[in-house]
Structures are given as structure tokens and as C-alpha cells.
Amino acid sequence: MNILPDTPSTSPPEPGFSAPDPTGSTDAHGAGVVKPRDAPGAMELPWTRILIVGAICFAVWLLLDAPSLQKSAQASPLGSRRTVSLDVVGPVAAVSRGLGLAHVVGWTDDLLGRSVGGGPSLSIATPPIIPVSKGNGKGKGPALAVTIPTTTPTASTAPTPTTLPPLPQHPTAANPLQVVVIGDSIGIDLGPPLTNDLIGTGVVAAILDGKIDTGLSRPDYFDWPAELRADLANHHPQLVVVMMGANDPQSLEVNGTAVAYGTAGWNAAYSARVGAFMDTANAAGAHMLWVGMPPMAGSQLDGEMNVVNGLVQSQAATRPAGVTYLSSRNVLGDGQGNYTAYLTNGSGSEVNIRTPDGIHLTLGGGEVLSQAVMNSIRGTLKIALPG
């Protein structure tokens, strides 16, 4: 290879690589690189005046948007950053409300049909189920003779007594098994391969409802119990697959008091939330398959996930009729259940299963775990799925 360039004048222009840009001027220093042109009517200012304009802009925006910022700050993780943010934004938000300016954002939110203080959270959500084939054509499961509770069940680790309709052992294209997959960002890593595998059987209608940066610890940030109730009401699933918990090792707020992670109080409060979450699904007639968190590369997070998994597993064990727990440590870990970034699949090929952050799953990892979930549905739940 000759690293010296062709002389531009002797080398004909190559379409796609070297034609001059029609809107830019050729830089005197660059090798045919263009610069943005000066716009007509461009206004030049000294930097001090720009600073003043910027300050006015920021002040106006802060005054108008302070209530939303306050809400965002309240939803941020507990800690000094949250405290400082609230201290700064709180008084401005009070002034904004006093002047009636908070309505500006409220009107926009009303117009767009969403909760006050900002747009939708970044998420993966799929619309109502599309029928897997010609069948009932509605994409909805059989009507369930249950009433979905509108409030979170009492925070207790004891299961709420309920009579669950049995899972269909032989779903068909005409009467598909209705599945909702929910979870945090790791659940979202599992979701697409799992929903594809489920739908690929031809006898399952599945949807994914995932929200990044969420869990059960911070309902003030994202209310998963409410989201689950909405999913139950909208989709009438017979089976809910859950995978979340990576964001949960943080302080919980119970009756207005912060309960620190790592304490017996936290374990009890978190167990109660997990149990209530399970009961919500069971009360609506849905079985729950809870997939535990995989091993993590970082030892601290890995230890935290062990705690979370243990509590979830305990809650599942008290609800054997309605909840099945599937450990992903054995699926995505090495022979001892420890973290590994690679696995050998059934055909002998190595698969990179974890992203470089040591937390999330690659597509290959999601596919491996999906197969384990499918096997659990077939084996433990005894549902005959083709394939």
C-alpha cells in the first residue's frame, strides 16, 4: 500500500468519496475538507453578552420548568446529588407555581396525554398482541373471572390466598397462551429473544413491556405495580415472565422513612414488595415466572444480586402454585455459577453472552437465557410448546 496520496489534480474525482461539497468552502489547510459557511444575517457578539443572553435563557427556562425539574429530582436516587438538586430547584418551583407558570408544562402534558412533568420514559413497549395466526383473531386470552385489584396488595410476605385458573397445557394457534414479559434493562435484554421464541412456536401470543433503570425499590420513579396492573387489565396474560432487580439495591422509602440497603429492615420491606407484586399477578389469574438476576462481573453488584435473588426466591417458594423461580446463575454462569462472558452453545460454538459493562446481556446471552426460559415453561410449567 502506498500511503502517499494521489495528487488531487491528477487523480479523477471518485464518486462517493471525493466530490466537493456544494455548500461549503474548501479549507485552505485541509485536504478537501469543508467548513460550515457563514450564514447570511449572522450576528456576532462579544462573549460577555452571550453570557448574559445565556443567563436570561437559563433563568426563563428554569422558572417555567422548575416543577418538572423538581419532580425529576425527587425521582432521582437518594443521596447528596438529589438533596442539592431539591434544595436548588425547590424554591424556584415554588415561585413558578406562585406565578402560575407551572401550567405551561401542565398544558403540554395534558395535550400529549401523559403525567405531569415530562415525556415518556425510555422504554421498550409493544402494542396489544398481534394474533400469531388465524384463530380467534382478537389476540386476547380467555376471559378471566377475576377482578384486578386497583391498589397494591397489603405489604406482607405472606401470600394472598387466590384461586388460579390452571395454565393451558396444550395451547393452540386458535387459543394461544397469553404471555407478558416485563423487566428492567436486563429484562429487556431477555425480552426480544424470548418473545420471538415464544411467538415462533405458533401457539403463544407474547408482548414485552420493559423499562430501563427501573425496579421495585423506587415506585416514586417508576411504579411497576401500577404498570403490572395495567398490563394485566389490557392483555389478560395467563403467564407473566419477570426479570428485574439489578437497580433495586438502594434505599427504600417505607411510610416516609428511608430504609437503607443491607439492613434487615430493607430485606423485609423488599420481600414484601416482591410478594405483593407476585400476588397482584396471581390475583388477576396470571402465573408468574420470575427469572433471577445473572452473575455480575463486579463483586459488589454480584453480592447484591445474590441478596435480591435470595429474597425473590424465598417469596416464590411461599407461592408454589402461582410463582415459579428460575435461576439464571446456572444458565449464564460458569460451572460454579460464577460470572463468565462466554459460553459454549449446543453446537460447540463460543458465544459472547455479556456486554463489556459486565452487567447486561448480549443478544447471544439473551438467546441462551431465552432457551432456558422456554425449557422451564415446557418442563416446570408443563405447557406443550412446539419446537
Partner 1 sequence: MLFPTIDFAIFFAVVFTVNWLLNPYSVPWKIFMVAASYFFYAWADWRFMFLLAASTVIAYTGGGILDRLEGQAKRLALWVTLALLLGLLAWFKYYVFFTVNADNLFHFMGFDRPLPLLNVSLPIAISFFTFMAISYVVDVYRGTLKTARPMDLAVYLSFFPHLVAGPIVRGTELLPQIRRRRDPAHINYTEAIWLIGAGLAKKVVLSSYLATYVVDPVFASPRQHSGLEVIFAVWGYAVQIYADFSGYTDIAIGVALLLGFRFPQNFNRPYTAVSLQDFWRRWHMTLSNWLRDYLYIPLGGNRGSERKISVNILITMLLGGLWHGAAWTFIGWGLFHGVGQIVGRQRRLWRKAHGLPLEPGGRVRIAVAQFVTFQLVCIGWLLFRAPSFSNAWSMVGRLFHGWGSSPLVTPLAVLAVAIGIATQFMPDGWVDRIRRAFADRRLAVQGAILGVVLLAITTLGPQGVAPFIYYRF
Q: Which of residues 81-110 bind partner 1 (CB under 8 A)?
A: 104-105, 108-109
Q: Say if CB 194 and CB 242 are below 8 A apart.
A: no
- Strand, helix or coil at 352? strand
Size of the site for partner 1 (CB under 8 A): 99
Q: How far is Cα 42 from Cα 22, in angstroms, rounded to an integer?
A: 20
Decide the pairing of beta strands 25-26 and 34-35: antiparallel
Q: Which three cell numbers stand for residue 57?
A: 435563557
Residue with Cβ nearer partner 1 (49 or 264): 49
Q: How far is the CB of 166 from partner 1 (least distance, A)?
A: 26
Does 302 engage in binding with partner 1 (CB under 8 A)?
no
- Strand, helix or coil at 291? strand
Residue with Cβ nearer partner 1 (153 or 366): 366
Interacting stretch for partner 1, rule CB under 8 A, among 168-176, 298-306, 324-332, 343-351?
343-351
Does 356 engage in binding with partner 1 (CB under 8 A)?
yes
The per-residue DSSP string of 123-172 comes to EEE--SPPPSSSSSSS------S----SSPPPS-SSPPP--PPPPPSS--
Residue with Cβ nearer partner 1 (164 or 181): 181
Strand partners, 242: 182, 290
Residue with Cβ nearer partner 1 (307 or 361): 361
Which position among 98, 255, 346, 357 is part of the footprint of partner 1 (CB under 8 A)?
Answer: 357
Identify residues 141-170 at the interface with partner 1 (CB under 8 A).
none
Cβ partners under 8 Å of residue 103, min gap 6 = none
Identify residues 171-230 at the interface with partner 1 (CB under 8 A).
188, 191-192, 195-196, 199-200, 206-208, 213
Quick one: CA dihedral 270, 272, 275, 281, positive or negative? negative
Residue with Cβ nearer partner 1 (62 or 254): 62
Q: Say if CB 129 and CB 140 are below 8 A apart.
A: yes
Quick one: CA dihedral 235, 236, 239, 242, positive or negative? positive
Q: How far is the CB of 53 from partner 1 (least distance, A)?
A: 4
Q: Say if CB 332 and CB 295 are below 8 A apart.
A: yes
Quick one: CA dihedral 96, 98, 99, 105, positive or negative? positive
Which position among 9, 23, 147, 150 is part of the footprint of partner 1 (CB under 8 A)?
Answer: 23
Q: How far is the CB of 111 from partner 1 (least distance, A)?
A: 10
Does 56 engage in binding with partner 1 (CB under 8 A)?
yes
Which position among 146, 173, 301, 363 is part of the footprint of partner 1 (CB under 8 A)?
Answer: 363
Identify residues 231-270 at the interface with partner 1 (CB under 8 A).
none
Which position among 34, 78, 155, 268 is part of the footprint of partner 1 (CB under 8 A)?
Answer: 34
Q: Which residue has the cell 415506585?
A: 219
Decide the pairing of beta strands 350-352 and 287-291: unpaired
Query: Taking Cα atoms as reference points, which of 191, 192, 175 lies closest to residue 238?
Result: 175
Residue with Cβ nearer partner 1 (254 or 301): 301
Q: How far is the CB of 266 from partner 1 (least distance, A)?
A: 26
Which position among 44, 143, 150, 336 is part of the footprint of partner 1 (CB under 8 A)?
Answer: 44
Residue with Cβ nearer partner 1 (129 or 372): 129
Q: How far is Cα 64 from Cα 51, in angstroms, rounded to an integer?
A: 20
Residue with Cβ nearer partner 1 (181 or 281): 181
Residue with Cβ nearer partner 1 (88 or 155): 88
Interacting stretch for partner 1, rule CB under 8 A, among 250-258, 301-309, 324-332, 344-352?
344-352
Q: How far is the CB of 46 from partner 1 (least distance, A)?
A: 4
Strand partners, 343: 351
Identify residues 111-140 at the interface with partner 1 (CB under 8 A).
112, 118-131
